[in-house]
Structure formats: structure tokens, C-alpha cells
Amino acid sequence: MRVLVIGGTLFLGRHLVDAALAAGHEVTLFNRGKTNPGLHPHFETIKGDRSTDLALLDGRRWDAVVDTCGYLPGVVRASCEKLRDATDHYTFISSISVYAHPIAPGSGEDAPVHEIDDALTHEFKAEHYGGLKLRCEREVEAVFPGRSLIVRSGLLAGPHDPTGRLAYWIRRIDEGGEVLAPGDPDGPVQLIDARDMAEWVLQMAAGGRGGVFNVTGPENPLTMRGVLDGIVRVAGSGARLAWTPESFLLEQGVAPWTELPLWIHAERCGMLDVGIGRALDAGLRCRELEETVRDTRAWLAQERKAGAALASGVDPSATLSRERERALIERWRSMTESRDG
């Protein structure tokens, strides 16, 4: 299969290229050459900006296109129109952020979505991310009816993760000692190894299969306790988890998701508990969490050895400092002992 990947050098994109190589596909990349330039020297790269340089794709044809970096509806529409007759199948990587809040736990692809006004579709702003992705989906479906795959991605994890969310916990638990564990231990967590998503996307594209799918994991329900316990087992550092209620953390001004990654407000937990039955029925398979943890941990070690200052891509100043972590644990313990005493 001849595949055009729009993007292809950041996280999911690079895993898509690796998976395509392993499957024997012929890959062409189309990107600006700004992120990890030279990452894939063995593949053809068309260097250009999709918002101004689509003419570079003229006269070419691919069996499938995978669009990993579409954020503005107008830009995505132009890409689709340019490629309408140049490919049989178009995959668009979207997000579960398209759903309106609050999302009911277990919601499927027919859940209410986040609509935005036309006036907000011409400029990217983080607060409009979900609505913009939804508009991009509709542009793809309009140009490629019956031959497009819409992937509503959940939380991605694995080596080369630029967000540092799972990496924060791996790094912290590796240090050992008492680790502040936030919120409800049995609260849901969904994450999928980017390699599993990449392999599934290529399989779907090769089969010409379309539709809208929530694509996250794992196949069996996972909790915050399950994630952190899994990391503790892999690390073998003797770290001890100190579970601390959400109400206390919020009172202390701790920011969910940023200061303590993977922790989300209880009323928004549906974001980490969407229904993925449709993707599983279509062949999605997720590796065990501990494999993802081991491989991510090994990647982080390689990056540190190579001298990368921020191997995980996350700014340490944005997450909870060790001093504040200790103070919060001690304060919660003191309050608990005072109340119980």
C-alpha cells in the first residue's frame, strides 16, 4: 500500500511510519520539516506547509492518506479537495474532545458533540480544540463520503510521548519514597499505546474501512490505582502511594491534569471512560499497560543518557514539586489524624 502521511514526525505520526515500514508499505511524508527533521531519511518527504503548498502534491497518487495534524476546518477542507481524486481512503486523526461536557461514562460515538460558531473556525485556540476537530471531521466526511476513517483518539502513551503525562508518574515513582496519589483510586483512566493505534489505523486503511470510532484503551477497564500500581511494579523502587482525596487537593489549589497528570475532576471523568466497543469489534487490540510503561521508561533512560533536558517533553515546573508534594501529604495526614483522634 502506498501511504501519504500528513505530518509523520511527532509521536503518533512517527509510530505510523514505523508500523508502515514493518508492514511493508511505501510511505511518503508531507510536512514542514520543522519537527524532528531527518527522522525518516529512508522515506520520501515532500517539504511544504499544507496551508500554502498543496500544489506540491499535484500529479501524485496514493492508496491511502493519514492526516495526523489537522486543526483548522478550512485547511483540512483544502487538503481533502486536493486529494479527492488522488487517494482511495482518507484517515483523519481527531479527538474525544469533540464531545460536549459532561460526557456520560461509557458514551459511544453518538454522544452529544461540542459545536462552535463559524466565526471561531479560522484561528486555532486551545479552548476551541474540540469544536475545531469536529468541524474538521465534517470536512473530511463531506469530501470522502463512505471512504474516510475518523479516529477520535483518547489519551496516547508510549515512547516519544511529547506530553509527559505518563512519563511524570514513571519518573516520580522511579525516585521512590512516598508518592502523592490523587483522587479516587477507583476512578477510570483510559490510555492507549500510540503503537497500537498506529497499527490499527493502517489495518483499517488497508481494508478500506471507514466510519467514526472512539480509539482509546485498554480493552478492559483501567483505574488510577491500576495505572500507578502497574508503574510501581515495573519500577521496583519501593515507592509507596499516599492516596489523597480530590476535595482536599482542590482546596489546596492543586491543578488537575497539569500539576498531577492523568488526574481529572470527578465530574469530568467521562472523558476517561468513553465506549470503545466499536473499535474493538473492528480489530483494535491494546498491549498490556506494563509493556507500555517498560518501553516508555527505557526511552526516557535513553533520552537522559543522550543529554536531553526534557526527554518527556513536559516542563517540570508545571508539575507538582517534591517539596509541595511532601507538604500536602503531611497536611492531609495531620488533618486525618486530628479528625480521627
Indicate the CATH number for domain 165-189+219-268+288-340: 3.90.25.10
Quick check: 63 and 1 in contact, CB under 8 A? yes
Q: Is 52 exposed, middle or buried (0-12, 13-18, 19+ CB in 10 A)?
A: exposed
Q: How many CB atoms lie under 10 A from the CB of residue 178? A: 14
Kindly state the helix (H) or strand (E) to which residue 13 belongs, with its residue range: helix 12-22
Q: Which of 39, 32, 34 lies closest to 17, judged by CA?
A: 39
Kindly state the helix (H) or strand (E) to which residue 300 belongs, with its residue range: helix 289-305
pTM of the model: 0.95
pLDDT at residue 257, rounded to an integer:
93
Domain 2-153 and domain 165-189+219-268+288-340, same fold? Reply is no
Phi, psi of 79 (to 5 degrees): -65, -45
Residues of the chain with pLDDT under 70: 308-317, 340-341
- Distance set, CA 71 to CA 93, 151, 202, 279 (Å): 10, 14, 21, 23
The DSSP letter of residue 104 is: P
Please tell me the distance from the alpha carbon of residue 172 to that of residue 133, in angstroms, as a whole number: 33
Q: Structural domain boundaries of the chain?
A: 2-153, 165-189+219-268+288-340
The DSSP letter of residue 321 is: P
pLDDT at residue 308, rounded to an integer:
58
Residue at grid coordinates 487537593:
249
pLDDT at residue 316, rounded to an integer:
60
pLDDT at residue 310, rounded to an integer:
47
One of 3.40.50.11860, 3.40.50.720, 1.25.40.10, 3.30.470.20 is the CATH number of 2-153, namely 3.40.50.720
Question: Rg (Cα) of the chain, in Å, rounded?
Answer: 21
pLDDT digit string (tens) for 59-70?
999 999 999 999
The full DSSP string for 16-85 is HHHHHHHTT-EEEEEE-S-SSTTS-TTSEEEE--TTT-GGGGTT--EEEEEE-----HHHHHHHHHHHTT
pLDDT digit string (tens) for 154-176?
999 999 999 999 999 999 999 99
